[in-house]
Amino acid sequence: MSLLAREFRLIRFERIAAWLCLPLLAMLQAWSLASQSGQAAWWAQVGALAGFFLFLDGSRSAKQAALRGWWFATCWLASVFSWLYISMHTYAGLSAALAAAAVLALAAALALYYAIAAALYWRLRVYGFMGSALLFAACWSLAELARGQWLTGFPWGAIGYAHVDGPLAWLARWVGVYGIGAVAAMFAALLAFVLVAVLGYIFGRFISISRLPVSGPRMLSAPAWLLLLAVAVHVGGVWQRAQFASADAQQHSQPVSVALLQGNIPIAEKFDPSTGVIDSLNWYGDQFRQRTESLVIAPETAIPVLKPDLPIEYFAIVTEPYRNGEQALLTGIPLGSPLTGYTNSVEGVKPGGEPYIYSKSHLVPFGEFVPPMFQWFNDMMDIPLDSFSRGAVVQPSFEWQGERFAPNICYEDLFGEELAQRFTDANQAPTVLVNFSNIGWFGEGKVIDQHLNISRMRTLELERPMIRATNTGATAIIDHRGQVQAKAPRATVQVLSGEVTGVGQGGEASSITPYARWAGVWRLWPLWMVALLTLVLVPVVLRRLPALRRSYQ
């Protein structure tokens, strides 16, 4: 067989391998966000993205790179939020075929960000392992940022969440989940280059498109860069953990006893006046009157109907112990009227105070509002309460026993940059975050674990504990270091009783993390600028300064 024929055969084999292997790598990356045990698996995420990078760097055109990026991202995202099928088919009445097609269509649309990023990397890539890793991290970060912010944003499944228990977790307080994702992408690219270098040395050629000459120094440079980055992360982590230990030793706040109510009301019945509504009102009403903890918290739409539709005096009766006793209550409830509009809200009751109201700001497309030109799609589904108004991004916290409890509803805790805006004034910054959720719409599987890890990442970014009251799970108490202190069994009727200790009660500026400082003021623009500058500067530096380029190689 001639050399040219062998080359064509290798190219054809590599193309087939790409289309077959990329879905497997994509599913591995999705699995890394919440493994079978519910824990994140950072090593699986880095390995999966390294595999994708091998095929990306081996692409023979920008078009092929874009197609591979789109195919990988489509399979990955469809695997991440496959639970959307349950909400659309089981509960919203959409046919199985249309529900599956809708999930795939959403994944394919969001994957376009990664297709553009892949093509951009291929166009800009440079000769040099670290330079290429920086470019890949920048391109990947731009895709993640665009997915998380444009068209209201849907960043569920960003790769940084796979590192909530990993060696990169300490970076959250500095650069947030997207910054962690950028560093993880660098690790993945360098890991792929190590494999490229080793195989290139063994077989006398590189498997990447660059096909640079094999040499001992070049073979060693990729492992050297990978080792250098790993050592830097490790040293930084050791230093940061020492800082954490010192800061935690100085905290002497008194804990607040809490009761987190998990009613496990079946979603198929929750808004049915003859079944689920009655069950909700009876169970939560009984718990409101029986609990003795200082703060009682019920999940999103625990009271599933508007106040005018409640039995006469119901709300006044069940909240009487909190208006005239020594306890406080936070409960999810829809509020509003046809004239003022409706809000997905939390109402707080405490002795001697006016009712506290928090209204959800970041609404769920199709579930809580209908995007322009998509009313026809919502008309195909049976979704209650799908026309809510937005609350303000920054709203006052609920003050109780020296703590400032800051609500967020459902997937609002997915947007750390919006929660960070509540920390611009240290004296009014939350001391405890409270998530109110009802994700029973999406089943009892991995969505619960994924959402719990999202909440844990917020506690790492903002260094505030978070307590979660949910209808089906995960009802949990998370400390300010991202560790789950207590968790109720999912899909069961439970009351999780425990204690939470806030952080930053005195308004100390030192209690505000660097991430909360810059994201609270500039949101995610600093990350956008760093990524864009990397795309501009790295090719210029490595292509116009030959001496520096040789040092990278």
- Encode pLDDT of 187-242 as tens digits: 999 999 888 777 766 655 544 544 444 455 566 788 889 999 999 999 999 999 99
Nearest Cα neighbor of 164 from 445, 438, 451, 432 is 451
> What CATH number is given to the structural domain containing 296?
3.60.110.10
Q: What angle do CA 296, 301, 303 make, to 5 degrees?
A: 70
412 pLDDT exceeds 80?
yes
What pLDDT sits at residue 35?
A: 86
- Band of the pLDDT at 337, cuts 50, 70, 90? confident
Domain co-membership, 406 together with 511: yes
Domain co-membership, 402 together with 426: yes
Where on the phi/psi map is residue 358: left (φ > 0), alpha (ψ -120 to 50), or beta? beta
Looking at per-residue pLDDT, the higher value among 5 and 151 belongs to 151
Domain co-membership, 20 together with 70: yes
Give the whole-angstrom CA distance, residue 368 versus residue 356. Answer: 22
In a domain, 138, yes or no: yes
Domain co-membership, 325 together with 393: yes
Please list the residues that pair with 406 across neighbouring strands.
433
Mean pLDDT across the stretch 81-98?
90
3-state helix, strand, coil in the chain (%, to 5): 55, 15, 30
pTM for the model: 0.93
Give the whole-angstrom CA distance, residue 293 versus residue 282. Answer: 20
What pLDDT sits at residue 547?
A: 54
Domain co-membership, 518 together with 531: no
436-482 residue pLDDT tens: 999 998 998 899 999 999 999 999 999 999 999 999 989 999 999 99
Catalytic residues: 300, 360, 410
Domain co-membership, 323 together with 205: no
What pLDDT sits at residue 162?
A: 98
- Band of the pLDDT at 251, cuts 50, 70, 90? confident
In a domain, 374, yes or no: yes
- Band of the pLDDT at 16, cuts 50, 70, 90? confident
Domain co-membership, 410 together with 287: yes
Domain co-membership, 82 together with 208: yes
104 pLDDT exceeds 80?
yes
Say how many domains are in the chain. Answer: 2
**According to DSSP H, which parts of 81-171 are helical?**
84-85, 96-124, 129-149
In a domain, 235, yes or no: no
In a domain, 7, yes or no: yes
354 phi/psi in degrees, rounded to 5: -70, 150
- Band of the pLDDT at 373, cuts 50, 70, 90? low
Structural domain that includes position 537: 3-223+526-548
In a domain, 241, yes or no: no
In a domain, 364, yes or no: yes
In a domain, 243, yes or no: no
Q: How many helices (H) and strands (E) does the chain have?
A: 18, 12
Domain co-membership, 203 together with 286: no
| Mean per-residue pLDDT of the chain | 89
Which residue is it, tokens 């376009």?
112
- Band of the pLDDT at 334, cuts 50, 70, 90? very high
Domain co-membership, 189 together with 268: no
363 phi/psi in degrees, rounded to 5: -85, 155
Both tokens assigned to 126: 């440079």
Q: Which residues lie closer than 8 Å to 398 by C-beta, 6 or more apart?
A: 328, 330, 348, 350, 356, 358, 404, 405, 406, 407, 434
CA distances from 323 to 94, 319, 349, 400, 460 (A): 44, 7, 6, 13, 34
Domain co-membership, 196 together with 299: no
Percent of the chain with pLDDT over 90: 70
26-78 residue pLDDT tens: 999 999 999 878 899 999 999 999 999 999 988 889 999 999 999 999 999 99
Q: Are strands 403-409 and 432-437 parallel, antiparallel or unpaired?
A: parallel
Mean pLDDT across the stretch 92-101?
90
Give the whole-angstrom CA distance, residue 299 versus residue 404. Answer: 18
In a domain, 11, yes or no: yes
What pLDDT sits at residue 340?
A: 84
551 pLDDT exceeds 90?
no
Looking at per-residue pLDDT, the higher value among 94 and 203 belongs to 94
Domain co-membership, 392 together with 534: no
